[in-house]
Structure 1
Amino acid sequence: MKLVSAQDFDLRREVEYGSPEQNEAVKEIVQAIKMEGDTALLRYTEKFDGMKLEASGLRVTKEELQAAYDVVEPSFVTAIQAAAANIRAFHTRQKRNSWMDLQPDGSLLGQIIRPLKRVGVYVPGGKAAYPSSVLMNVIPAQVAGVPEIVMVTPPATGGRAGIDPYILVAAAEAGVHEIYRVGGAQAIAALAYGTDTIRPVDKICGPGNIYVALAKREVYGVVDIDSIAGPSEIAVLADDSANPAYVAADLLSQAEHDEMASAILVTPSEAFAKACQAEVERQLAALPRKAIAGASIERYGAIILVDSVEAGIDVVNQLAPEHFELIVENPMGYLGRVENAGAIFLGPYSSEPVGDYFAGPNHIIPTNGTARFSSPVDVDDFIKKSSVIYYSKDALLENGATIMELARREGLEGHARAIEVRLQQEGKAGNEHG
């Protein structure tokens, strides 16, 4: 990892929007699914995934779900169940209720909160399969009360054997039973527009490769989406009190995700920086995903030297990282200064994988600096809100002239007259009965 000063480090990172060829390919796929449905879906599944299927074979059967339990270790099932319980408990605290407020003049104002009807969850199967992402997408939707959750995943996440059994077990434990063996941009289009086999959804969630990301952007507006996810990121702010082995391991935990992943150490100590630099090289040599992590460290890894912990937090706020570890003396004392980070991990034992898998907060977190204005996936992502207005006669008589003033200042006479006709009729009627 290269050592740089904060002044010499470019905090801006190029956002991945895809090449013109990739964008054009995605538009073509989405349009084909929209027009041809299952026919195009099966054609692209054979072309990109090498599996020739019939429409009747797209849906995963109950027997396949049960068979997955015969393949995975019982310890995995126990671990998934424990993680699911923590995730459910955390997200349950996020639930909001509808409310109504009766005004003194007899008016009633309020907000009705309802869950989305049907949500699609995309589970990738490229460089690795992620059963944990199944839980992180599905459980908040369930807590919100979404009645229909459908999952799509490429047909060969487990190689020639088909869908990865760990993904299927995670889905079953989370309570998802409508699962289709289809991936890529074609799966996103099928969820958005529907086919004879897959009914359309209201929202699509879950990470994927660049084609999945571009397809989500393409169908946004037809359906809602969670985000356009970029490569994973971690920033660690550490001082001399930190253990270089811990910090190096945490940096590599994100670097191994993808060659485009970013791992950055911010420190006021040059001695610690050099110790961590050496430790990264030592641990990298023995990492099974060394090629991926090494490419990430080479291209998007850095150690930024700063004058103080406070200056380091300023750098982190500019980075707005997906994951931020604060491993300094008295980390709680600095928490209030952290403004931009998707998830904040405090102290030497709050390693990023604790959040990825088990603690309870969601691991689907804003990337590419978007933590400046967006948040991790939560229960609010799966609800919709309707305003409720019941205006009494007294309230309209009292406030009608003010409403008309505002409408006429905007040049909308029809709006003003919709109030005026009531004032004329009801005000007169009120005087007659007065």
Structure 2
Amino acid sequence: MLLYNEIIFWNDLNELQKKNILLRPKITKLDNFKKKVKNILNNVKNFGDDAILKYNKKFDNINLKQIKVSKDKINNSSYFLKNDLKNAILTAKKNIQLFHQNQKCKSLDIHTAVGIRCQQITIPIESVGLYVPAGSAPLLSTALMLAVPAHIAGCKNIVLCSPPPITNEILYISKICNIKNVFEVGGAQAIAALGFGTETVPKVNKIFGPGNMYVTEAKRQLNKSSLNVSIDMIAGPSELLIIADETSDPIFIASDILSQSEHGHDSQVIVLSDNISILKQTIFQVNQQIHNLSRKDIIFESLKNSKFILTTNLLVCTQISNIYAPEHLIIQSKYSRNIVKDIINAGSIFLGKWSPESVGDYASGTNHVLPTHGNSVFASGLSITDFQKKITIQELTPFGLKNIANVVKILSLSEKMDAHANAVIVRCNSIKDKYGK
């Protein structure tokens, strides 16, 4: 019996049905969910490390005397990892580092007019917090995706939090990325510690990293407060959209569907094609391959959210993709480079049959922290610019001010801002007294 065998005919749907087909899965939240997160935030704010240690016991069933990881433990982490894993981590780091180093913005220094010099300089955010979740296995890929750009950006104080007991994989990445402040704390309490600061956890200026619904809600609540702390983004369940045509390989498409589906029961995959045979073969392959996978129980649930949609042509596929605005987009076609020209909304795009999404998750070099829930219509994936801020500078000579003074006076007085005009007028009078013109 097939696990999934429905093909949706896009042209047979009315506008409301089309809209509903592209909805994300509903996230079921527990009763008093927001209140529970608020209580955690308040407890950490008021009781600091004591609250964290109690939450470590309550949520992670571990008793710790201190939450900061010692320098020796970080340095010794490499002894507990196999060489093939360390080499894989170093290769991924090299690729991520190379890609993100080339994202650096050049400083801007121009004269907009004679005597008016304008600059833009890029400054690293001084203190950043990296949250690395831990589920059935340590998310070392997330540690790399956060730590590498933070280091390249030049952030002075980098703080990493991950649920206890923190793994040697995460500690090894901290070591090779020169992160010295590592803390064993997870969940909403980790976000609270980074946002408020405790006796041992430094308060940061911006918090990065995905997590469960408690982590996401904690980031949301902190972002709304007046703590001078920001967040990278509000991330939802992972998602993938695939555009396939008659040149696609159903075996490869099925493997991409399954790899995305194992992220979690609320993940979603949408497959678009103008070829019904490709869709049928893909569904068959999904049902063949799933039985060999260790996380098939999660995949079973995730597939309930997935859709296989037949369109009349590839242009319609790109139009649907732009409406859905996926986190990940695979265009599996030998014409991928032509098709991608019509894409305007996506977090990260994978072109051709030899570009599985899993490579981007780990080691190609691009960042896997991406906008979800349709937010790619206005947002981008994580980059070193997220760890930096830009400051503008302007410097005028007497001649430059004199030449632009009348423009500023007219515009400021039109807004009834006479003090603005006066700041120019008094200087112009001084120029006249000094230079006689």
Pairwise TM-score range, normalised by the shorter structure:
over 0.9
Moved more, 60-69 or 252-261: 60-69
Alpha-carbon distance in structure 2 between the residues aligned to 1:91 and 1:24: 38
- Could you tell me which residue of structure 1 aligns to residue 107 of structure 2? 98
Alpha-carbon distance in structure 2 between the residues aligned to 1:86 and 1:255: 26
Is the 8 Å Cα contact of residues 119 and 202 (structure 1) preserved in structure 2? yes
Is the 8 Å Cα contact of residues 274 and 314 (structure 2) preserved in structure 1? yes
3-state DSSP class of the match of 1:273?
Answer: helix
Is the 8 Å Cα contact of residues 397 and 427 (structure 1) preserved in structure 2? no
- Could you tell me which residue of structure 2 aligns to residue 316 of structure 1? 321
Is the 8 Å Cα contact of residues 84 and 174 (structure 1) preserved in structure 2? no
3-state DSSP class of the match of 1:340?
Answer: coil
Residues 1:348 and 2:353 aligned together: yes
- Structure 1: which 5+ runs fail to align? 156-161
Residues 1:4 and 2:8 aligned together: yes
Displacement of 1:14: 5.8
Displacement of 1:40: 1.9
Is the 8 Å Cα contact of residues 25 and 266 (structure 2) preserved in structure 1? no
- Could you tell me which residue of structure 1 aligns to residue 185 of structure 2? 182
3-state DSSP class of the match of 1:197?
Answer: coil
Letter in structure 1 aligned against 2:373? N
Alpha-carbon distance in structure 1 between the residues aligned to 2:343 and 2:166: 41
Letter in structure 1 aligned against 2:8? V
Residues 1:266 and 2:277 aligned together: no
Paired residue for 2:215, among 208, 212, 216?
212
- Could you tell me which residue of structure 1 aligns to residue 130 of structure 2? 121
Alpha-carbon distance in structure 1 between the residues aligned to 2:111 and 2:187: 50
3-state DSSP class of the match of 1:240?
Answer: coil
3-state DSSP class of the match of 1:349?
Answer: coil
- Could you tell me which residue of structure 2 aligns to residue 23 of structure 1? 34
> Structure 2 vs 1, CA of residues 277 and 108 (structure 1 numbering), >3 Å: closer, same or farther?
same
Alpha-carbon distance in structure 2 between the residues aligned to 1:249 and 1:343: 18
Letter in structure 2 aligned against 1:213? T
- Could you tell me which residue of structure 2 aligns to residue 158 of structure 1? none
Is the 8 Å Cα contact of residues 17 and 214 (structure 1) preserved in structure 2? no
Alpha-carbon distance in structure 2 between the residues aligned to 1:144 and 1:11: 37
Alpha-carbon distance in structure 2 between the residues aligned to 1:173 and 1:297: 38
3-state DSSP class of the match of 1:384?
Answer: strand
3-state DSSP class of the match of 1:40?
Answer: helix
> Structure 2 vs 1, CA of residues 62 and 429 (structure 1 numbering), >3 Å: closer, same or farther?
closer
Moved more, 214-223 or 108-117: 214-223
Moved more, 139-148 or 407-416: 407-416
3-state DSSP class of the match of 2:80?
Answer: coil
Displacement of 1:194: 0.7
Paired residue for 1:134, among 130, 136, 143?
143
Paired residue for 1:169, among 163, 167, 172?
172
Displacement of 1:214: 0.8
Alpha-carbon distance in structure 1 between the residues aligned to 2:375 and 2:94: 29
Alpha-carbon distance in structure 1 between the residues aligned to 2:279 and 2:107: 51
Residues 1:246 and 2:255 aligned together: no
Moved more, 10-19 or 286-295: 10-19
3-state DSSP class of the match of 1:70?
Answer: helix
- Matches for 1:386-405 after TM superposition, within 5 Å: 386-405=391-410
After superposition, give the CA deviation of every residue in 1:259-292 in whole Å (9 maximum; x if it has no partner).
0101111111111111111111121222110111
Alpha-carbon distance in structure 1 between the residues aligned to 2:91 and 2:125: 27
3-state DSSP class of the match of 2:424?
Answer: helix
- Could you tell me which residue of structure 1 aligns to residue 70 of structure 2? 61
Displacement of 1:169: 2.1
Residues 1:193 and 2:196 aligned together: yes
Alpha-carbon distance in structure 2 between the residues aligned to 1:412 and 1:20: 51
- Could you tell me which residue of structure 2 aligns to residue 373 of structure 1? 378
After superposition, give the CA deviation of every residue in 1:241-272 in whole Å (9 maximum; x if it has no partner).
11111100101101000001011111111111
- Could you tell me which residue of structure 2 aligns to residue 35 of structure 1? 46
Is the 8 Å Cα contact of residues 116 and 401 (structure 2) preserved in structure 1? no
Paired residue for 1:108, among 110, 117, 121?
117
After superposition, give the CA deviation of every residue in 1:25-77 in whole Å (9 maximum; x if it has no partner).
111111222222222222222222222223xx211123323443333221000
Alpha-carbon distance in structure 1 between the residues aligned to 2:295 and 2:289: 11
- Could you tell me which residue of structure 2 aligns to residue 284 of structure 1? 290
Q: What is the percentage of aligned positions where both structures have the same residue?
A: 34
> Structure 2 vs 1, CA of residues 395 and 71 (structure 1 numbering), >3 Å: closer, same or farther?
same
After superposition, give the CA deviation of every residue in 1:160-185 in whole Å (9 maximum; x if it has no partner).
xx222222223223332321000111
Letter in structure 1 aligned against 2:284? A
Could you list the runs of 4 or more consecutive aligned residues of structure 1 that deviate by over 4 angstroms after TM superposition? 14-20
Alpha-carbon distance in structure 1 between the residues aligned to 2:375 and 2:113: 43
- Structure 2: which 5+ runs fail to align? none
Displacement of 1:233: 0.6
After superposition, give the CA deviation of every residue in 1:326-357 in whole Å (9 maximum; x if it has no partner).
01232111121111111110110101111111
3-state DSSP class of the match of 2:430?
Answer: helix
3-state DSSP class of the match of 2:106?
Answer: coil
Task: Give aligned pairs, total.
Answer: 423
- Could you tell me which residue of structure 1 aligns to residue 239 of structure 2? 233
- Could you tell me which residue of structure 1 aligns to residue 158 of structure 2? 149
TM-score by length of 2: 0.92
After superposition, give the CA deviation of every residue in 1:372-406 in whole Å (9 maximum; x if it has no partner).
11111001001111110112212222222221221
Alpha-carbon distance in structure 2 between the residues aligned to 1:103 and 1:242: 52
Letter in structure 2 aligned against 1:260? D
TM-score by length of 1: 0.93
Alpha-carbon distance in structure 2 between the residues aligned to 1:415 and 1:82: 56
Displacement of 1:411: 2.3
Letter in structure 1 aligned against 2:321? V
Displacement of 1:206: 0.7
- Could you tell me which residue of structure 2 aligns to residue 46 of structure 1? 57
3-state DSSP class of the match of 1:307?
Answer: coil
Alpha-carbon distance in structure 2 between the residues aligned to 1:200 and 1:193: 5
Alpha-carbon distance in structure 1 between the residues aligned to 2:198 and 2:58: 18
